[in-house]
Chain A
Amino acid sequence: MNRWELLKNSYNKLHSYLKRYSIFHVKYVDGSPRETRTQELVRRFRYNKSAVFGLILILVLVFMAVFADFIAPNDPNPSPPELQNSLQPGFWDENGAEGKPLGTDMLGRCVLSRIIYGSRISLSVGFVAVGIATALGVTIGVLAGYFGRWVDSILMRGVDIIFSFPALLLAIVIVATIGQGLDKAMIAIGIVYSPQMARIMRGSVLYIKEMEYIEAQKAIGSNNIRIIFRHVLPNSLSPVIVYGTLLMASAILDAAALGFLGLGAQPPTPEWGAMLSESRFYIVSGAWWAATFPGIAIIFAVLGLNLLGDGLRDILDPRLKS
């Protein structure tokens, strides 16, 4: 290495050090353009190791869901069922099932393939349930926060009432009333989670409502609908994203719980909670794998969303940190 290169290297090192740790925008020194808001967020996200780890977990999950047809080694629901293969161990056992690395369940189905297909269900439950919760919650929250007074009192008392049920119990009760099944479980979870979204949204709207730009909008005669859609909603988006991610983690857990209780996804759907529930009776006879691995899949999905949600909160909305 010649002296010129040495100099260049040490300059680069110093520069990246300054860029990383200085509170001033040293970036401008080398003449590069000022970073945009998005670039700044991406940079802050990249330094948040646990958030990046969470994102990777979620991307793996999405990849599994999208390409399930290609990566799953076997059919998740072979018909007719291969009963002769039931409860065979996987790769850790010399006599393990061929081509079924995580063993088989009591109907001879490949556990790994079912977990891979199950990621589709868990992801869609997460999105749909949180989508319903967001749609309901944001509407309630915006109306309550923006209009205040009696609208606020009535809506928030309703929210309090839903809050006075333990979440899973209310979901069970709604499912008991409207019927069992995955679609109904999603609706139930969406309804149960809407009060949390409503409270967050209301708080956010109450804060934004007092801002000067809203006052300016009122002064130039904008009507309420325009103010809400053009100004209040876009500015309260970040808490919705943060809590939406965190709620998605709980939604996946609760959907699995409903599936476990037999009130959510019905067999033979490869839903993780239902898989666990079907195979739990066989652990007594030593077949632990069919109940263990779906649970680990749930843990990684939920962990990923929790880490990502925490990371997004630190980045998007430092106010919410407490």
Chain B
Amino acid sequence: MIWYISKRLLQLIPVILGVTIIAFSLIHIAPGDPARTMLGQHATEKELNEIREKYGLDEPIYVQYGLWLSDVLRGDFGRSIITREEVLDEISSRFPNTIELTIMSMLFATIVGGLAGIISASKQYSVTDYTVMGVALFGISMPVFWLGIMLMLVFGVILGWLPIGGRIDLFIPYTRVTGFMIIDSIITFNLPAFISSIRHLILPSIALGTIPMAMIARVTRSSMLEVLRQDFIRTERAKGLSERAVIYKHAVRNAMVPVVTVIGLNFGLLLSGAILTETIFSWPGLGRLVVEAVYERDYPLVVGCILIFSIVFVIVNLITDILYTYIDPRIKYE
């Protein structure tokens, strides 16, 4: 197991190197001269050359890549062109919000989707089954930004139950400890902040979690149906176990492997969806940061966000692979 994990970690190195090469070449394909961006329109040729020499911009491209990579490895992503803040600071202040959002949506998707799939499978061809599968079919075809707007319209504008944007109400005092607002408000015993941050989290999580929920429901149903047809289920029914025990104690466990795969695969979708959801709900997360950076052609920030996004993405995929062995010990890694 340890061998397998370390081998996979080693295999990540060339992939992440490739990602850095793509990210780096992006800055170079993009139009604009960085020296001129730094000094402005009226700089003389001499000043430009001095800046180029200072930052190594006159070196061949592979040397520049090497310099840039060594900075990145030391955690120096450069500064944002617009705000002049350190890119890493900008990212780390937004990162917890995105993590909170994705975890909440995944919880929503897994619990609701999983239960819907199990119920659907245990009552195959019933009205419930058809309803769940119909909803799931629409769920996978729905654009996340449309769903977000509809949720805002119904629960925010018409019913007025929940806020339609932002992370927390403006006038609520809040002390930052870890950056994760829910955790922070718990450890500082800040009840208003806790309630407000949860209320702001509900609509974005549902919007972001619905597509994965639909996929999880579909996969859980088909996986459950396959398991329910097997002999050991018949044996359990024959020895008189209650239907509830058969389904929840035995069938569900055996049906989990494909579900975990789908949950893992959905993380990529979730990160893509987070970009849209955060834009709709003015959520101060990484997704909105990258979109704003693209609008403003803030390349150091764009590159920083891409690197973080991809690293999170490959690590999640790795964790998914490793989880299989715990769920299904029959899968052996050599």
Contacts and interface: CB of A to CB of B under 8 A. Distances in A.
Interface stretch (A123-131, A142-150, A154-162, A217-225): A154-162
Contacts of A299: 138, 141-143, 146
B182 interface: no
Contact of A176 (B144, B152, B297): B297
Contact of A165 (B138, B153, B291, B310): B310
Contacts of A277: 145
B149 A291 contact: yes
Interface SS, B side: helix
Contact of A295 (B137, B143, B273): B143
Contact of A166 (B29, B271, B291): B271
Contacts of B280: 280
Interface residues of A, number: 42
B306 interface: yes
B26 interface: yes
B18 to A, nearest CB: 4
A161 B150 CA distance: 35
Contact of A161 (B18, B137, B153, B275): B18
Interface residues of B, number: 45
Interface stretch (A27-35, A207-215, A235-243, A254-262): A254-262
Contacts of A261: 275-276, 279, 291
The dominant DSSP class at the A interface is: helix
Interface stretch (A14-22, A93-101, A167-175, A311-319): A167-175
A273 B291 contact: no
B268 A166 contact: yes
B18 A158 contact: yes
B176 to A, nearest CB: 27
A186 to B, nearest CB: 17
Nearest to A179: B31
Contacts of A84: none
Given A173-B294, A257-B272, 17 more contacts: A157-B14, A164-B16, A164-B313, A164-B317, A165-B313, A166-B269, A169-B306, A177-B26, A177-B30, A249-B141, A256-B145, A276-B149, A283-B153, A291-B146, A295-B143, A295-B146, A303-B137
Interface of B: 14-16, 18-19, 22, 26, 29-30, 137-138, 140-146, 149-150, 152-153, 157, 164, 268-269, 271-273, 275-276, 279-280, 290-291, 294-295, 297, 302, 306, 309-310, 313-314, 317
Give the top 8 A-B pairs by smallest Cβ distance, nearest first.
Answer: A295-B146, A168-B272, A161-B18, A303-B141, A302-B141, A166-B271, A176-B294, A166-B272
